[in-house]
A and B are shown apart, each in its own frame.
Chain A
C-alpha cells in the first residue's frame, strides 16, 4: 500500500472539491484500486481531533512511514515570518512548521493546486498573509521549502498546478507515483507533470476556427475567439483542459469565458483586468510565446482579410447565427 497524508493549508479547499468530481471510477474507488491508503484527509476521513494528532506524531516520530505528502493551499509565512496566519487546529503549531517537518520524511511531496505550487490566488494583491508555494514563491525557486529540497525518493516537490486542479491530474499523478513510474523527466521546468502540461489550453478549444481567422468576440457571451479582446491566454497556458474536459463536457473556453492561465505561476496578478486583453497600439500584448511576432502579425492580417462571412458573423453572436453550408456529394 502507498500511504498518503493530505494537509490543507492556506487555500480554498477547491482542489479537494474538484477531486470529488472524479468519475469512472470515483475518487475513493480509484485510490483503493491503485493501492493508495489515505492515512488522513481533512475533508473526508473518519479521524478527527486527538486521533489525528496521534497520527501526526507517529509520522513525525518515524513510527509510521509516509510515502506521499499532499499539500493543498499555499503556505502562509506571516505575520512577521511566524506562519501563525495558518495554524493547524489543535496542534498549536503553524502549517509552515508542519510542512517543513513532514516533507523530508515523505517519499514524495505533491503540491495540489496553484496555491500549494506557487502561492496562487492566496498571494494576490500585495499578499497580505505572506503566502508562498511549497518550493516556489511565484515563479521564483524556493518557497516554504528551499530550492534544493528533495524528498526521500529524490524528486523536488511535484507541482500539480491548476485553480482548481482537474481531478484526473491529481489521481493520475498519485497513480504514477504509486506505480513507481514518475521520474524527473516526467516533470516540466516548474516541476509540473508533463502528461498535462505538454499541452496548451488552446489544443482542441472549440473556438479554434475563430482563432484561425482572428474572428474575435468583443464582449462576454459572444462565441468568437477571446484572445484579441477578452483576455484569453489559452494559446500560451499549459493544460489539457480542452482535450480532457471538466465535469462531463466543460472547459472555461467552452463555457464562453477566457482561459486565465490558472496552471501558471503568478496567474493571479496578470497586471490587467482578467477579462480584458491589454494592447499596445491596438495590438494585443502576449502573443503566442514560441512564434515570431512579425509572422504572427502577417498571418493574422491575412487571415482576418480571408474570414468567411459565416465565421465573422458568428464571432460576435451569442449562438451560431450562420451555420455551415451542408456539403453535398459531388461538390
Chain B
C-alpha cells in the first residue's frame, strides 16, 4: 500500500505534515502531524497573571487578537470583573476586523491559489482563476492584500498595531476613541464594503448573506465568490472532505441579549447546549504525557523521546467523547443561518466550509458597521478590577478558525495553570485514546489520489478548506 508524506504543507498558518495511506486511488487512512512544539503553557507558569496578555497573543501571528481576547476574558473571569460596555464594544470591533481579515487572507491567498494550478488547465474557469488568484501575482490576491492592509488602519487607530497588541484588557480597551476616530473608522469600513461588493461578491453583500438554500448558492455568478462556486460545482467539491457532522461554537461577540453568533453544539440536525465539563484532551497518540484530562486540570509535558504510538505534538480534544468540527461554517450552522444549516444537513464538505466563511464575511461587515455607529465617545472604555492572589478563570472566544479556550489558575498571585485549546487543536487532532481519528483525518478518508500525484490536489483542497492555524494548534 503506497504511503505519501505531504510536506512542507504551505499556505496554511504554521507547520503541517500529512501522511496518507493510499488504496485503489483513494486515501484509506490519514495521519496529521503538527511538527512544531514551543510550550507556551509551560512558559506561563510562575508568571504574573497579567503577563498572559503579552505572551499568549504571540502564540499566533494570525489569530493574535483572538488570543488577547481569550486571555483578557480569563483574567476578567478570575477577577469577577465585568468590562466597561463601550470597552467591550471596541474590543469586539478590533476582534471582528481580525476575523474578517483572516477569512480574506484564507480565501485570496491560501485557498484559491490551488485552482490556478496547471492540472486544471482546460477547465472553463481556469484562465479566470489564474488571473485572479495565482499566488503573489493574481489581480484578486493583490487587491485583497491592499484592502486588508487598509482595513487594518482601524487596528492601528484602536490597537496600535497588528499583530500583537496590549490594547485588549480585562476591563476594556486602553484607548478611548473620540468622535473623530469614529468617523474615520466608519469611512474605512465603507471603503472595505466597497471592496467586498465590487470584488468578492459582485453584488450588495446583504444579498449574499441572505441566501437560504444551496441551489441558490451554487447559482451565484458574480464576483470572486461566483468564480469559486463555479469551480466548486465543476469539481463537486462538497462531496469531498466531509467532517464529523458535529459542530462546536462558543458563541462570538458577546453583547446584551447574548452573542452575535450563538453558542452551542450542533449534532443530528439540531443545536444543543454546551457543557464545558465534557471537554477532555487525550494524549494517547500525541508526543505528550498526562493522559485524558479536562483543561482546567490539564498538563503539558512533552515526550522528549517522541515515542510511538504518538505522531504529533497536538493533543486530541473531544467533546463528550466525540470528535467535533469548529470554524466559521460551524459557527454559522450553530447560529442557525438557513444556508449553513442546509449545507450541514447535506453533508458539509469543502464547498460548505468556504461558503461558511463567505457568509460570515458579509454578516460580520454589517456587525462592524453597527458597532462603530454605536460607539459612545463620552463613555468610559475601561473598568477596574483587582487581581485575586488565588482564583480560576475561563476565557472562551470564537477565533476566525473556531472555538478557542483559555483555562487559567492563579495561586499565590502567580499563574499555576494555563491550558489553551485552540480551534485547530480540535480540527487537526490526532487519534484519541480509542483510536478514533480527528476531524481532518476522517475528512481525508476517501479523497481521490491520481496515479501520478505525490501531493494530491484533493488533499490540498480538503486540508486548506479548514483554514488550519498550526501555530495555535500546539502553541
| B182, CB-defined interface residue at 8 Å | no
* Contact across chains for B43 and A52 when beta carbons are under 8 A apart: no
* Contact across chains for B471 and A129 when beta carbons are under 8 A apart: no
Supposing A246-B160, A247-B162, A255-B158 touch, asked if A26 and B146 sit within 8 A by C-beta, the answer is yes
* Contact across chains for B160 and A250 when beta carbons are under 8 A apart: yes
Contact of B455 among A42, A50, A121, A268 (CB under 8 A): A50
* Contact across chains for A48 and B176 when beta carbons are under 8 A apart: no
Residues from chain A with a CB closer than 8 A to the CB of B46 are 125
Contact of B14 among A8, A21, A51 (CB under 8 A): A8
Complex Cα gap A13–B13 (Å) = 7
* Contact across chains for B304 and A78 when beta carbons are under 8 A apart: yes
| B36, CB-defined interface residue at 8 Å | yes
Residue of B nearest to A254 (CB): B160
Binding-face segment, B47-55, B207-215, B222-230, B325-333 = B47-55
Residues from chain A with a CB closer than 8 A to the CB of B116 are 46
* Contact across chains for B10 and A250 when beta carbons are under 8 A apart: no
Residues from chain B with a CB closer than 8 A to the CB of A88 are 7-8, 15, 35
- Interface of chain A: mostly helix, strand, loop or mixed: loop
* Contact across chains for A319 and B6 when beta carbons are under 8 A apart: no
Complex Cα gap A26–B142 (Å) = 8
| B17, CB-defined interface residue at 8 Å | yes
Q: Which residues of chain A (157-173) have a CB below 8 Å from chain B?
A: 163-164
CB distance from A56 to the nearest CB of B (A): 9
| A14, CB-defined interface residue at 8 Å | yes
Binding-face segment, A103-111, A187-195, A256-264 = A256-264
Residue of B nearest to A317 (CB): B176
| Mask of A267-299 contacts with B, CB within 8 angstroms, 1/0 | 010001111100000000000000000000000
Residue of B nearest to A241 (CB): B161
Residue of A nearest to B306 (CB): A84
| A181, CB-defined interface residue at 8 Å | no
Q: Which residues of chain B (133-184) have a CB below 8 Å from chain A?
A: 134-137, 141-142, 145-146, 148-150, 152-153, 155-167, 169, 172-176, 178
| B289, CB-defined interface residue at 8 Å | no
* Contact across chains for B58 and A14 when beta carbons are under 8 A apart: yes
* Contact across chains for A221 and B146 when beta carbons are under 8 A apart: no
| B120, CB-defined interface residue at 8 Å | no
Complex Cα gap A88–B61 (Å) = 19
Residues from chain A with a CB closer than 8 A to the CB of B160 are 246, 250-257
* Contact across chains for A26 and B149 when beta carbons are under 8 A apart: yes
* Contact across chains for A27 and B10 when beta carbons are under 8 A apart: no
| A44, CB-defined interface residue at 8 Å | yes
Supposing A8-B15, A87-B17, A163-B58 touch, asked if A275 and B166 sit within 8 A by C-beta, the answer is yes
Residue of A nearest to B455 (CB): A49
* Contact across chains for B384 and A49 when beta carbons are under 8 A apart: no
| A128, CB-defined interface residue at 8 Å | yes
Complex Cα gap A260–B380 (Å) = 25
| B59, CB-defined interface residue at 8 Å | yes
* Contact across chains for B8 and A42 when beta carbons are under 8 A apart: yes
Residue of B nearest to A21 (CB): B149
* Contact across chains for B14 and A13 when beta carbons are under 8 A apart: yes
* Contact across chains for A14 and B60 when beta carbons are under 8 A apart: yes
| B42, CB-defined interface residue at 8 Å | yes
| A23, CB-defined interface residue at 8 Å | yes
Complex Cα gap A247–B42 (Å) = 32
| B425, CB-defined interface residue at 8 Å | no
Complex Cα gap A50–B16 (Å) = 14
| Mask of B308-351 contacts with A, CB within 8 angstroms, 1/0 | 00000100000000000000000000000000000000000000
Complex Cα gap A90–B17 (Å) = 6
Residues from chain A with a CB closer than 8 A to the CB of B153 are 247-249
Residues from chain B with a CB closer than 8 A to the CB of A53 are 8
* Contact across chains for A48 and B455 when beta carbons are under 8 A apart: yes
Residues from chain B with a CB closer than 8 A to the CB of A20 are 105, 109, 145, 148-149
Complex Cα gap A18–B156 (Å) = 12
Contact of B9 among A14, A21, A89, A256 (CB under 8 A): A89
Residues from chain B with a CB closer than 8 A to the CB of A41 are 10
* Contact across chains for B6 and A17 when beta carbons are under 8 A apart: no
Most chain B CB atoms below 10 A, which of A22, A50, A86, A89: A89
* Contact across chains for A12 and B11 when beta carbons are under 8 A apart: no
Residues from chain A with a CB closer than 8 A to the CB of B15 are 8, 86-89
Q: List 30 A-B contacts (CB under 8 A).
A: A12-B59, A12-B60, A16-B61, A17-B62, A18-B163, A20-B109, A20-B148, A23-B149, A44-B135, A48-B6, A49-B6, A49-B9, A51-B455, A79-B305, A87-B35, A87-B36, A88-B15, A89-B16, A90-B5, A90-B6, A164-B61, A221-B174, A247-B156, A252-B161, A252-B166, A255-B167, A272-B48, A273-B48, A274-B53, A275-B50
Binding site for A on B (CB under 8 A): 5-11, 13-17, 33, 35-39, 42-48, 50-51, 53-55, 58-62, 64, 105, 109-110, 113, 116-117, 134-137, 141-142, 145-146, 148-150, 152-153, 155-167, 169, 172-176, 178, 302, 304-306, 313, 380-382, 384, 454-455, 460, 471
Query: In the complex, given contacts A17-B163, A250-B159, what are 11 additional A-B residue pairs having Cβ atoms less than 8 angstroms apart?
Result: A10-B36, A16-B61, A18-B61, A28-B141, A43-B13, A86-B36, A128-B42, A220-B166, A255-B158, A255-B159, A262-B164
